[in-house]
A and B are shown apart, each in its own frame.
Chain A
Amino acid sequence: MTAAVDHFSAAPPARRFRLADPSMILWIAMIAILIFLIASPMVRLVVSSFQDPETGRLTWANYVEAYGRARHLQALWNTLVFGAGVAVLSCLFGVPLAWAISRTDMPAKGFIRLMVFGAFIIPPYLGAIGWILLAGPNAGWLNKVWIALTGAESGLFNVYSMTGLIVVVAVTSFPYVFVFTSAALDLVSSEMEDAANILGAGTLRTTFRVTLPLVLPAIIGGLIISFLEAIALFGAPALIALPARFQVVSTQLWQFFEYPVRVEQAAAYAMPLLLITIFMFWVQRTVLGRRGYTTVSGKGGERRITRLGPWRFVMLGYALFVCALAVFLPMIVLTQAAFAKAWGRGFSLANLTLQNFHYLLFQQTQAQQAIVNTFVYSGITAFAAIGLSLAIAYVVARKLVPWSNVLAFLCMAPFVIPGIVLAIGFYAAYAPPPLALYGTGTILVLAYTTRFLPIAYTSSAAGMRSVNPEMEEAVRILGGGRLTAIRRVLAPLLKRNLAGAWILVFIPAARELSSAIFLVGPNTRVISVMLFDLSEEGNFEVLSALGMILLVVTLIIAAVGFKAIGRDFMVRSS
C-alpha cells in the first residue's frame, strides 16, 4: 500500500482505480460460483427433461413416458393426499400446543417446549424407523401390547399404510406449525382480547373469534411448510410406502434411478413437485401477506395468560400425548433396539449389549467411513455455504455490482427447490462427463451447499445489516482495503452470527437424505444413506445404534450452538 500512496499522479484518475481494487476479483469469482451452483443444475434439470437420452434432441417423449402410466399418476395423487394429510394433522398437533404454551397456564410448559424442539431435531426417517418398531403389523410393540391386553388375534395398528405414513411424518413436521403459530401468538396484544372480553365474549369465544383468526396467516404459513416438507420427503415414504405397496412422487423418482438410470424421465417427473412448491410459496407470500393483520406486525404490548382451571391438566395430557407420539415412544424403542441383541426380545438385562455400537465404531469399516463422511461433508458444506453467502451478502449490502438484488434472489432460490429435485438437477448437470462428479464427495458438498445456502444467506445478510457501514469505512479511510476491513473488523464482529449459521447449516446437512440418496457412490456413503440401506436389510439393532450416534452428535452441536449464540456482544457495543 505504501507504493500505491507514492504513485499519486497529477493526471486525472481513471476507471482503473476501481478495477485496481483487488477484492473485485474475489467478488466476481464468488458470483460465478453462485451462478454455477444454482443456475446450472436448474437449467440442466429443465433442459434434460426435454431431451432425448440418446441423441440429445428436444422431445416431449420424457413427459409422455413419465405421465403416460396410471401408476405414475396414482403416485402423484398419493403425494397430494399424503401432503394434505400431514398438513392437517400438523395443525391439529401444533396449534393447540402453541396456544397452550404461549397463552395459558398449562403446567410443564418448559418441558413441552423442549420436547417440541426434540421432535424438530429427530430426522423423519429415524422417526419412521421408530414407528416401524412400534406399529409394525404383529411384531410392533404397540400391537404386542394390544394382543397381550385383549387377547386379539392380530394387532390394531399397521404402520405400513397411508394413514401410518401421514401420522409418522406429521409428528416430525408439526414443529413448523408450532413455531409459526407461537411466534404470531407472542405478538398479539392482550388488548385485542380485552376488547372482546369487555363486549361480553367469554374465554372460549374470544379465543376462537379473535385470537386464532388473528394468527391465521401464521397457521396457514406453517401448514404450507408442513405440506411442502412432506411432499419433498424421501426417507420416511421409502421406508413405509414401499412395503405398503404404494408410491409417492419421491419414491417413484427413486425408481427412475434404478438401473437403467432414466434421468430425463426423472427430470420430467420432478416438474410438478417444483411447480407446486414455487406456487405454494407464492401463495404464502402474496395472498397471505396482503391481508392487513397489523397487530401481528408490531411489538407485543402486554400479554396476559388465560386461566384454564382444571382444563389445564386436560391440555397437558394432550400435549404429552403429542410428545409421546413424536418423541417418547419412538425414542424409547430406538434406544432399546440400539442396546439390544434382538429388539423383539424386549426389555431385559439379558438382552442388553453394546455390541451394536462396537460393531459400528470398530468393526464395520463402511460404517466408520459413513460416520466420518457425514461429519466431514457437513462441516465443509457449512464453511462453504457461509463463505459464499457472506461474500454475496457483502456484495449486495455494498451494492458493488449492478443488479445485486438478483444475487440475493439466487441465494434464496434453493429454498423453493425440493431437495430431491435439486439432487436430480445436480445429477443431470455434474454426473456425466466432462465433470463426471458422480460418486465423489465433491458433488455431495456442492449439492448440500446449494441446498442449505438460503439458511446461511439469511444469517449472513442479517449479520451484514447489523454492522454499521461506518465500521468498515473507518478502516478504509485509515488506509485499509475492503479485504482488510473484512478480515480485521467485519469477520470478527460477525463471529457469533457466523458460528450460529455454521451450526444451522451443519445440522440439516448431517441428516440430509433426500438429495444424498441420489448422489452417493460406494465410497461416499453418509449415515443417512447407510441407515436407509440397513433398514432394507432389516437390521434394526445396528440401524438404531447408528441413528443414536447421529442424534447424539447433532444434539451436542445444537447445545454448543445455543450456548455460543446466547450471549451476543454486539448488543453491548451498539
Chain B
Amino acid sequence: MPEMNLGSVAIVDYEAGNLFSVEHACKAVGLKPVITNKPEDILKSDALILPGVGAFGDAMKSLHKLALDQPLRKFAASGKPFMGICLGMQLLFSRSEEFGEHEGLNLIEGDVVKFPSVNEYGEKNKIPQIGWNQINNPSEYRDKWHDTPLEQITNGEFMYFVHSFYAKPQNSENILTLTEYGGLEYCSAIIKKNIFATQFHPEKSASEGIKIYRYWANNIIGNREK
C-alpha cells in the first residue's frame, strides 16, 4: 500500500447531517478523510465513520437506496475501526420506534426509543436534548474505558449532545458510557470489538472530544504500521 493512504477514513455520506465538522476533526488528528457513498471506497478504507443527524427511518431508506447497508455490515465484520456518531450510533441497533417502527443495521442488539415527554421528576422534558452533558463509566468495579477511545478521558467529562432518541443495548457489556437526562440514565456510547459509537458529538466537544478522535486515529495509524 502506498504511504499516502495511511490512515484513510471513509466518512459515509448518505445525505444526513454535517460531514464537514467530522472531516475537520479527522484532519486535525492526522487522518485522511474521504467523504463518500461508494461501497468500494468504504471497503478499501482503513477505518470508517458513520455520522448522522436526522430521522432514523429516512436514514435507513437512504442507506438501502445507496446500497450501503451490506458494505457497512461487511466493513464491521472486517475488524477494521468503525465509529458511529449520533444517529450513526442509533443505526447500528436492531430497530427504532422513531415515526413508526424501523429495522436498523442490527450490528448491536437493542432498540432505539424516544425520551419521555415528562421526565423522572414529573416536569416537562426538553426534547431534543441540546447541549453539554456528562459521560460516566458504567462500572463501579473496573475501568471500562481502558484500551478504548475514551482511555484518556476523565470520568464525568462533558460532551456535546443533540438528540431526541436514545439506544437501549440488550447486552450491558456493550455499554461504554452512561449519561443522565431528566433523571433517566441511558447509554451514551457503546463498544463491541472494532465498533465504537457515541450518542454525543466528539467533533463538537472541544479539546476533550478531539482527544477521542486522536486516540481512535493513533490506533488506526498504529494498525497499519504493524
The answer on A and B forming one complex is: no
Interface residues of A (CB under 8 A from B): none
